[in-house]
Chain A
Amino acid sequence: MAEAGKILSPPAGRQKERPNQRLSVIGTRMLRKEDPRFLIGRGHFIDDIELPNMAHAAALRSPHAHARIKSIDAKAARALPGVICIMTGEDAAKETGPLPCFANPPVEQRCLALGKVRHVGEPVALVVADSRYIAEDAAALIQVEYELLPAVSDMMEAINSRGDAVLHPERGPDNVAEHRNYTFGPVEQEFAAATHVVKRRLRWSRSGGQPLETAGAVASYDEGSGKFTIHVNGSMYNYIGFTIATALKIPSHQVNIVPADAGGSFGSKLFLHKVSVLASLGARASGRPVKYIEDRIDNITASDNHGSDRIYDVELALDANHRMTALRYKVVDDYGAYFQYGLGTHGNGFSQTVGPYRIRAVGAEIYAVFTNKCQQGACRGFGSEVTNFMIERIVDAAVEQLNLDPIAFRRDNFIQPDEFPYQIPTGNLYDSGNYPGALDMALQMLGYEAWRDKQQAARAQGRYVGIGIASCQEKGVFSATEFWMLNRSPGFALTSSPESASVKIDPTGKAVISLHAPCWGNSPETVAAMVLAEQLTMDPADISVTYSDTDHGLPGTGPGGSRYTVMVTGAVTGAAAIIKEKLTRVAGHMLEADPRDLEFRGGKVGVKGAPGLEASIAEIAMQAHFFRLSLPDDPALTSGLDANYTYDHPLATLPRGDGDFGIFYPIMGHMCHMPVVEVDIETGQVSFLDYVAVHDCGTMINPMTVDGHVRGGTAQGIGTALLEEFRYDKSGQLLNTSFTDYLLPRVGNLPPQVRIGHLVTPSPYTEYGVKGAGEGGRMVAPPAVISAIEDALRPLGVRIDTVPVTPSRLRALIREAQARGGR
C-alpha cells in the first residue's frame, strides 16, 4: 500500500539538462516550422494521397444497434459497373484476425462485423470500386438480412442484461466488462473518523475528439514482395504497428506504415487499426491501391474513439478543520460495444486521483459496461479530465454544504510546494508543483475581489453573474504500465514507452531530424528544431524535420498523454549529445586543440577564451563526411555525422499490486482556471465575461504553442461542459450523426479572450524541466465553467451535476429551482 506524502528519499533522475539555464532558442516564441505548408494548402493529409491506379472503398454501416447477420446478398452490388470487389465479415475473417485490444482477456472486434453487429455504424461490408461514388452506390445495393437482438443503451440496465441482450456472451452472462474495487490507503478508517461527508451523483456524458479530418488509410499491396504499404493518419505505428500485421495475418516486416499529417486527433487517432486493416484488406483483394477514408457519419458512429461516459456516486470525507481526508467513489462507465483499452481510462485517472489536494486515502469501485454504442477510445485527457471534474465538483459541493470560501478551502488543502516529490495513495508520484502559486496568480490576474464586487452589483440588477474556479492536475508522460495495470491478469505487461530522434548533419552543415511519430497538429517539428538549435547553437532555419515510416522507424510511442514535447526534447537532447561528441572530436583535430577546451558558439566549435579559433559546424561536417584520411584512425570517427537516440520514460517504476501502482505518470503539470460567466435565465444561454487560465507546465519550449494548447483545450472543455454529447436513444440509435446536431464550439460560444498566466515549476526529472501541456485546457475547463454557472445561479439554488449543461438542460434546472421557490 502506498502512503501519501512527501517522499523523503526521492528517486534519482536522469536529467542532464538542468532547468533555469540561460537559453537562447528554448523559451522563445519561435514561429512554427509546420505552418508554411499548411498555409499554402500543401499539407500532406491522408485524403491528399493519390496512388496510380488507386481504387476507393466505402463501408456499409449497420443500421441496427444489435442484430445477428442472417445473410448478406451482394449480387446486385457486385454487378454494378465499376465495382471491383465486395467483402463481408466472413470474407474478411478468412484473411484477418481480430483487431488489437489492450484488455485481457481481449474483447474480439473485427474490421467487418462477423455474425453480429453491436452498434449502429459498425462496418458490415466493404466495397471497393473505381470511385468512392460507385462504392457508395454499391453499398446501398447490398441486401442484409438482420435478426434484431435486444439493444442495450442505458448503462445501468447493462449491468443486469441477460440472454440475447449480452454483447459478448463468451465473457460472461451479463454486460459487465469489468467490475473492480480498489482501496488506496485507509479509506474505511478515514470515513469512520470523518466529521463531515459530502456526497454527489455526477454525470459526465459521452463526447468525442471529433477532429475536422476523419480517420483514413491508403494501402497498397505489392504482390511481388508480399508487402503492404499503409499510409494512415494514426499514431503509435512505431510502437505497436506490428499488431496491424498480426491482424492481417502476415509477418510484421511485410508491412510498412507511413505517417500522414493528421488534421487534428485529440486522442481519436491514437491508433487507427480498423481503417488500416480495411484498406489493406481491400488492396489485397483488389490488387490495386485502395483508399478508405471515413466520412463524417462513419467517424461519429464508428470511430472507435468516443470519450468517457460515466455516472459517479462520490463521497468526500473531511475532518473538523475542513481538511479533506479521503475520497470514495463508485463509477459506472459505458464503454460501448468493445473494450480496446480495457480500463485504461480509469488507470489514467489514478495518476492524479487526489487532484492537488492532500487526500490520504481513495476508494474506487469501477463498473465498466458494454452497451450497443461505438466503443470508447481516447479523448484529450484519457479519462483524467473526468477525474478532475469529479474532484472539483465534490470540492465545490463541500464548499456549498459547509458554507466555506472556495479559495481558502482549496488553499488549505493543497499539497504544499515543499512537499515534493509527493506520493499519492495510488502509488503515483507528483514530481513538483506550486499550487498556491498558481491560485494566487489566477486571483491576481482575474482581479477576483473586484469581480466579486461586480457580481454583487450585477445581482442587484437582477443579472446572474458567476465566478468559477477549478484547480486541477495535468499529468504528463505516461508509462506503459497504465495500459495493463488494471487488467485482472496483466496480459502483455509491457513497460516501455520510448521516443526516438534521429539527427543527421549533412556535409554542408544543415540538419535533418527524423521523428518516429506523426504530426498531429501539435508542434513536433518546432520543438525538435528548437531543442537541436539550442544544443548545437545552430540557426533553427538550418534544421528540417521529417517523419520515419516503420521500415526506417526507431521506437516511438507518439503524441498522447501530454508526453510528446517532454519525450522529443529528451530524444533530441540525447541525439545531440552524440553529434556534439563527434563534432568536438573532429574539431579538436582540425583546430589542434584538446576537445575538453572546446565550446559551441554561434554555429561553430571554438576554443574557449580564444575568439576566432574555431570551425563552423559546416566545416566540421564536411571534414567528417568526406575526409576520413585526414582524421585519426579512431573507430568513433567513421565517415558521416549522424545519431540515433531513444529516450525512455524519465521516471517510472513497476506496479506493486492493486493497492500500489508505482510511479506511472509523474511529470505533473497544474492549472487554475477562473471563468466569469453570465447566465440568461430565460434561455439558459451562458456567455463569458472574462476567463483567466493559469498553467504550469514547467519549462516551456515555446510559450506561443503552449498558449495554443491552453486556448484550444479550453475551447474543447467548454464544448464538453456546454454543448457536446453523443445522444443515443433507447434502441441504440445515435440521434446526432453530423455537426448539424453534434455541436462543436464556434467562436460565439467561447470567451472573447482567455487570459493566460504561466507559472514555471520545472520538473526535476525531464530535460530542461519540461512538463506536458497538450491536453491543456480540456483537463480543467469543464469543472471551472460549471462552477461559474452554479455560482451565477446561487440565488436560485441551482445545482449542476451533469455535463453538458446545454441551454435546454440549464433552463430546466432553472425552472425546477424557481418552482422550489428560488428567486
Chain B
Amino acid sequence: MEDIEINVIVNGRTFKRRVEPRLLLTDFIRHGIGLTGTHVGCENGVCGACTVLLDGLATRACCTLAVQADGRRIETVESLGRLNNLAPLQRAFWEMHGLQCGYCTPGMLMLMTELLRENPNPDRDTIRARLNDNICRCTGYEDIVNSVERAVELMRTETAGR
C-alpha cells in the first residue's frame, strides 16, 4: 500500500508526514516525531502505558493507526509541565510517590488528565474506577490514587491563587 499523507496536531504543533497505512500511532509519536514519553507495554490495549489524549479522549495509541489521527489533536505527556515547571498532576505524583520505574507514568498522567478535566473534584472511588483502565506493576496503585487526590488539592490552591 502507498504511503498516505497525514496532518496531525501533536501538543499544539502540526506535523505533516507521509506514513505507511499500517504505522501504529505509538510508532508515529515515539519514532516519527521523537516524543518518546509515550510508552509501549502490552501492545494490545490492555496496560495503557501508551495512553494519549486524542481530541481530548484517553486513547490506546498502541491500538490506533497513525492515519486515524489525521486531522486530529493529540496530547502526550510532553504537553504537561516541564522540568522546572511541573504541572500540578506531575508535582502530585512526585510528592506522593506515585511512580517507581516511571514506565506506566505517562499513560497514567494522561488518563488522569482526562479524568480531572471531566471532574475536577473526583472522590477516591471515582479515581480508582478510572485507574482500573491502566496497569502499574510497581506501586500497587495506592500512591497513584493519593497522587491524584493531592493533584486535586494543588489545582484548587492554584485556582484560588489566581
Contacts and interface: CB of A to CB of B under 8 A. Distances in A.
Interface of A: 31-32, 34-43, 45, 47-48, 50, 133, 210-213, 261-266, 295-296, 520-523, 704-705, 707-708, 711-716, 738-740, 744-748, 750, 752-754, 777
Interface stretch (B53-61, B102-110, B114-122): B102-110
Interface stretch (B64-72, B140-148, B152-160): B140-148
Contacts of B141: 715, 746-747, 750
Contact of A744 (B100, B103, B135, B145): B135
Nearest to A44: B36
B76 to A, nearest CB: 7
A47 B105 CA distance: 16
A212 B104 contact: yes
A263 B77 contact: no
A738 B44 CA distance: 8
B94 interface: yes
B101 A32 contact: no
A711 B86 contact: no
Main secondary structure of the interface of A (DSSP, over half): loop
18 contacts: A39-B80, A40-B90, A41-B35, A47-B36, A212-B137, A263-B103, A264-B103, A266-B137, A708-B138, A711-B143, A712-B140, A715-B140, A738-B46, A740-B46, A744-B137, A747-B144, A753-B142, A754-B142
B113 interface: no
By size class, the interface of chain B is 35 or more
B94 A32 contact: yes
A45 B103 contact: yes
A711 B142 contact: yes
A32 B90 contact: no
Interface in B71-97: 76-78, 80-83, 86, 90, 93-95, 97
Interface string B9-38: 000000000001011000000110011111
A131 to B, nearest CB: 9
A463 to B, nearest CB: 21
Contacts of A264: 100-101, 103, 137-138
A39 B90 contact: yes
B84 to A, nearest CB: 9
Contacts of A738: 42-44, 46
B99 A38 contact: yes
B49 interface: yes
B137 A211 contact: yes
Nearest to A713: B140
Contacts of A715: 139-141
Contact of A41 (B31, B36, B41, B139): B36
A739 B47 contact: yes
B20 to A, nearest CB: 7
B102 A521 contact: yes
Which of B22, B41, B76, B102 has its CB near the most chain A CB atoms (within 10 A)?
A: B102
B97 A213 contact: no
B128 interface: yes
Contact of A296 (B35, B44, B93, B100): B44
A712 B41 contact: no
A47 B27 CA distance: 11
Contacts of B37: 40-42
Contacts of B82: 40
B112 interface: no
Contact of A712 (B20, B36, B46, B139): B139
A48 B36 contact: yes
Contacts of B97: 32, 704-705, 707-708
Given A133-B22, A296-B43, A36 B135 contact: no
B40 interface: yes
Contact of B132 (A34, A296, A707, A747): A747
Contacts of A36: 83, 86, 94
A647 B18 CA distance: 54
A59 to B, nearest CB: 15
B49 A212 contact: yes
Contacts of A261: 101-102
Contacts of B86: 36, 39-40
A133 B47 contact: no
Contacts of B36: 41-42, 45, 47-48
Nearest to A741: B46
Contact of B31 (A37, A50, A265, A744): A50
Contacts of A714: 140
Contacts of A133: 20, 22-23
Contacts of A40: 37, 77-78, 80-83, 86, 90
A39 B95 CA distance: 12
A133 to B, nearest CB: 7
Contacts of B77: 40-41
Nearest to B106: A41
B140 A711 contact: yes
Contacts of B142: 711, 750, 752-754
A38 B135 contact: no
Contact of B94 (A31, A43, A213, A707): A31
B56 to A, nearest CB: 19
Contacts of B93: 35, 39
A37 B137 CA distance: 19
Given A133-B22, A521-B100, 19 more contacts: A32-B97, A39-B105, A40-B82, A41-B37, A45-B39, A48-B36, A50-B34, A210-B137, A213-B39, A261-B102, A521-B138, A523-B100, A708-B100, A712-B137, A712-B138, A738-B44, A740-B44, A746-B135, A748-B128
B148 to A, nearest CB: 11
Nearest to B34: A50
B83 A520 contact: no
